[in-house]
Structure 1
Amino acid sequence: MTNAAETSPTPVDPDAPAARPLSPGAFVQSDSALAGRLVERLGRIEVLLDEVVAQASALPDETCHHLLRAGGKRIRPVLVLLAAEFGTSDQIDVDRAAAAVELIHLATLYHDDVMDEAPMRRGAPSAHAVWGNSVAILTGDLLFARASLLTSMMGPEAVRLQSETFERLVLGQLHEFTGPVDGADPIEHYLAVLGDKTGSLIATASEFGLRFSGAPESLIAPLREYGEKVGVAFQLADDLIDLVSDGAKSGKRPGTDLREGVPTLPVLHVRADAAAGDPAAAAVVELLDADLSSDDALERARAALVAHPATARARQVAEAWAEDAVKALAAVPDGEVKDGLIEFARTAVSRVA
């Protein structure tokens, strides 16, 4: 691992243009008027992100742009913009909100990669692998600060909402780190962690879009519920992608979560089955608990877990969370925006190979 004083090459060209934002075709028909508006707004937000993270000093400027230029789906900004379609969407505070939620998300990635000792992120070396833990943590802090600057421009309600979301993000990370208390259900604990770490910010993205476009307040509750549930579904799907993908979608080697000892839902299911007396599950657990430092051992454990019914059940749980997110939209007006939200919820799970 390098530190700031060393001269490792930067894996992302600092002079490269801002990353291309997610195509709105993932949410709405690509030839629709709504898609055209989203493309235009996302382009503006990419420019705003690039400007907001800029620093006068070379090192922090480089580190703050690192993950921004590495790409990303920009899911949270898109959800801000979609929710804003229920009001007057072309508002500067909507753009600020979309940029702020992406900066908060990016900041958590810098911190998570340090805690997880993850070597890669978005197909590039993680910041801590390039510059060391201290620089990566401080860069995450800088991005949180810039997100706070944006929300302060939006007024006290935005600051309150960001603060409450930030608290849930931190508590979710702490609860993941400490694990369930004695006697608690590990699966319930894990789902609650996902609600805090992923669902909370997606729910906030939806609320930001509504509040700062002047949309009806009656839409806040259903869209927040949608965001909470679709966030859990999305993260459950990510857990499965780590097991079954070729690495192109996740940007990391399949089975990385297993090697790092992350208790994802398939693992929790198979451990519960083993504890209940399932010999096939016990055999999988034995492989999971072995030394997974070698690629062969990791692949044996990964393949065995994928083949066990625990993984199929985990996918069913992800699908159920996605459908619950769709049901939360019952009170939302019909139309292209609602259809886009439904499509995103279902695509969040169907993207699993």
Structure 2
Amino acid sequence: MFLALNEIRHSKLRYALVIGVMFLIAYLVFFLTGLAYGLAQENRMAIDKWEADSLLLSEKANDTLNMSMIDPKLADEVEADETALLVQAPAIIYQTGDNEAKENVSFFGIDEAEFITPNIIEGEMFDGKGEVVADISLKENAGFDLGDTINISMNDEKMTIVGFTENAKYSVSPVLYTSFETVQSVRYGEMAESQELKVNAIIIRGEVSEIPDGLSQIGVTDFINKLPGYSAQVLTFGFMIGFLVVIAAVVIGIFIYVLTMQKTAIFGVMKAQGISSGYIAKSVIAQTFFLATVGVLTGLILTIASGLVLPEAVPFQSNLIFFAFISVLMIIIAITGALFSVRTIVKIDPLKAIG
């Protein structure tokens, strides 16, 4: 390490460029990871909020929530530790007097006495028809507030926001929790009273011992993976990040190899003085470790700082476990790339190198 650090001090600009390249690649990898994780979480936040184990959907729904239609009476035939009925309805809303600023949302009709009821961070729980509890992102990003009247663009039904919850997004859309009766009015408008209530899912917490005919069970993890676009999105970002990590290793490996070749004569003199190839090789590996660590940590710090100043609308979330894993992986692969330089050092003939 003594030789490695002294060489870095002697050629500050050269090694600053190496650290700069490593920093830029690390920053890009971390930033993409934060975006990928944030976007994935916005698809599944409301589902994770249930803390459930599985769902019961109609057999013909192909594990798709909005295609499942279940008679709520079947819930009485389900034998499980805990059950909760869910009615889901996508909609477009806007504030009264501002029908240009529209938001895509997802209504969750629930029984407030069941376990999927959300926590309230502002306001109160809905109590009666026409009252909703909204995800806080509608306040932070779209300007909705407690007491605001919202309109459903499909049928001009009006509702009032009485409370806000957090971490409640489904397929990237903010969730509005409300009663079954209110969801019926979202679906059918003035015809709601003449329509029979159908729930989309029976949410299960714990073990299930009896499932009625016509229903199929799916685990929460499998259900999330089958959300439209979720798996494709995760795989796409995963491959991008993986390739960037490999590219980072190749780049740092090439830099170290080129620097090693430029110092062939110096290494030849060192060998002629009795310094072993092993000592020189360890110095090169230690130097790579130092350069990669400084570059990666600088990129990590700047990424976390960037996340603090990004607008709320950007789906960026820091996950320290993911960041730590990627940091270690990038450093290890960079060192692995530097091992190619070690072979060159071992083959250096002192007499030829000195000339």
TM-score range, shorter chain: under 0.3
- Greater strand proportion: 2
Q: TM-score by structure 1 length? A: 0.24
Bigger relative contact order, structure 1 or 2 (CA pairs below 8 A, ≥6 apart)? 2
Q: TM-score by structure 2 length? A: 0.24
- Greater helix proportion: 1
